[in-house]
A = this chain, B = another copy of it.
């Protein structure tokens, strides 16, 4: 067995929850049968259980390539739909065009950026854990302005339209409110638990180790909720505009299929992210000892 090979994913039998456990405080071995490695460079080389064959690499690459195509694809498809079938964007002078910012920015923030953030945290194995955490935070931080602007644009477009539309009436808006609340909560908890509390690494170990599986579970739930919210939004929009005579019926028919395709791509993203998270390995497994200090 080549002990120097770096394996991307554990075998199906590998314990998933173990991967979600915050790393042990320096010098505290989590398993009795494995000595702590002398330095950080050996974190993956020493982990002989992670040796993977061609099939595992193929699965890893398939997940990476497919998820990249879908996460970028859903944003391109949304932009295509808005630019070619909904006349593009505007701010404040035209409520209908201002509304168009809402689906685009929400898909960019909640799906593309958040999806890459989750997958990068799970699949990135070539960096130190603290860098992976920072990248995970950076992607979520980039999602915040998208979500905030997307939220403002729909509020403005509702309030500026004649007559003004009621806010927080539809199921989409209720689900969206829960999704945004959970997103903010997850970001704040994640930022304080896994970055700020690192300052006192040893004393906050127990707190962080309790938080990790909760943050991971609710993070995935939040992502699924975001997908459900996007799909309800698309369906509501499509049904409301089904009898709209602004577009020719031929265009309207094509638009219907574009919106359906968007829904299917969103569901495919939900499937691939949940499968990838269940199958994949976090950068720092419970068996790996990292001596990061702030």
Contacts and interface: CB of A to CB of B under 8 A. Distances in A.
Nearest to A221: B271
Contacts of A254: none
Q: How large, as a class, is the contact surface on chain A?
A: 35 or more
Q: How many copies does the complex hold?
A: 2
Given A220-B274, A239-B240, A278-B217, A171 B260 contact: yes
Contact of A170 (B170, B260, B267): B260
Contacts of A63: none
A274 B235 contact: no
A148 interface: no
B171 A213 contact: no
A138 interface: no
Interface stretch (A14-22, A103-111, A123-131, A183-191): A14-22
Nearest to A238: B171
Contact of A231 (B171, B213, B217, B260): B171
Interface string A217-253: 1001100110110011011101110000000000000
A193 to B, nearest CB: 14
Nearest to A275: B217
A13 interface: yes
A229 to B, nearest CB: 9
A150 interface: no
A95 interface: no
A90 interface: no
Given A12-B17, A17-B14, A224 B171 contact: no
Interface of A: 10, 12-18, 21, 169-172, 174-175, 178, 209-210, 213-214, 217, 220-221, 224-225, 227-228, 231-232, 234-236, 238-240, 256, 259-260, 263-264, 267, 270-271, 274-275, 278-279, 286
28 contacts: A12-B21, A12-B210, A13-B18, A13-B209, A13-B286, A14-B15, A15-B15, A17-B17, A17-B278, A171-B231, A171-B234, A171-B238, A171-B260, A171-B264, A172-B235, A174-B260, A174-B264, A213-B279, A217-B274, A217-B275, A217-B278, A221-B270, A221-B271, A221-B275, A225-B267, A227-B228, A232-B235, A236-B239
